Amino acid sequence: MLKPILSGAVAGCFLVAALPAGAAEPSARYNTVELQAEVQREVQNDLLNASLYVELSDPSPAALANAINKRINEALRVAKETKGVTVRSGGNQTYPVYAKDNVLQGWRGRAEIRIESKDFEAASSLIGKLQAGMQLGNLSFTVSPEARRAAENELITEAIAAFKARAEIAKAALAGRGYKLQRLNLANRYNGPPPRPLVARMATSTSSEVAAPSLEAGASTVVVTATGAIEVLD
């Protein structure tokens, strides 16, 4: 009988040694309730993003590159002269075009520019000018980072208030005398409209100009969620 008792004592020694010095077992928590509160707000889209591209073909890759570069350089020049609009170069690629029997027929290239602006009138006018020699690839509206942060900061206060209101409901339902906040996490998300194509009305056949498109920015939804847990006190 001595051997089993000795083994149990040794095992107990190992278990105690594994605990940090001075550590106490965590106290059990009762009446823990998980809660979530969500608040949201529609914010007017105040930032326009658009991409325009040129796509050409030529038997000579050098001639093709020269033609595309001229179009892009001219588009960048016009865009940079437009106040309130930021412009940058986009993708640029050239690839071979083959006929039957895998015979090289020529080359095709595509290059784009991307514009960004809070001035929708200026951006619309610029897009109309550029469409005389380029195609509109993409047009989207979003909430600018500054406006989004401002909305999120206001919603944080509302989300915490909504969380506290639910905590009071849970406390009353459990007939508690109060509650203790165990944890609280805040998260945000942004539900913006999907990019949409836009077709501008063509001007009269005697003009190379393209009518400026009418733009409707719409709104996006900014959401802040508060999740956490409370301990309802008896």
Does the pTM of the predicted model rise above 0.75?
no
Q: Is the pLDDT of residue 1 over 50?
A: no
Q: Is the pLDDT of residue 39 over 90?
A: yes
Q: In this predicted model, what pLDDT tens digit does every residue of 96-139 receive, in sequence order? A: 999 888 889 999 999 999 999 999 999 999 999 999 999 999 99
The string of DSSP codes covering 159-224 is HHHHHHHHHHHHHHHTT-SEEEEEEEEEEEEEEPPPPB---PPB--TT---BPPPP----EEEEEE
Domains of the chain and CATH, by start: 29-46+143-234 (3.30.110), 48-98+105-142 (3.30.70.360)
Q: In this predicted model, what pLDDT tens digit does every residue of 57-97 receive, in sequence order? A: 999 999 999 999 999 999 999 999 999 999 999 999 999 99
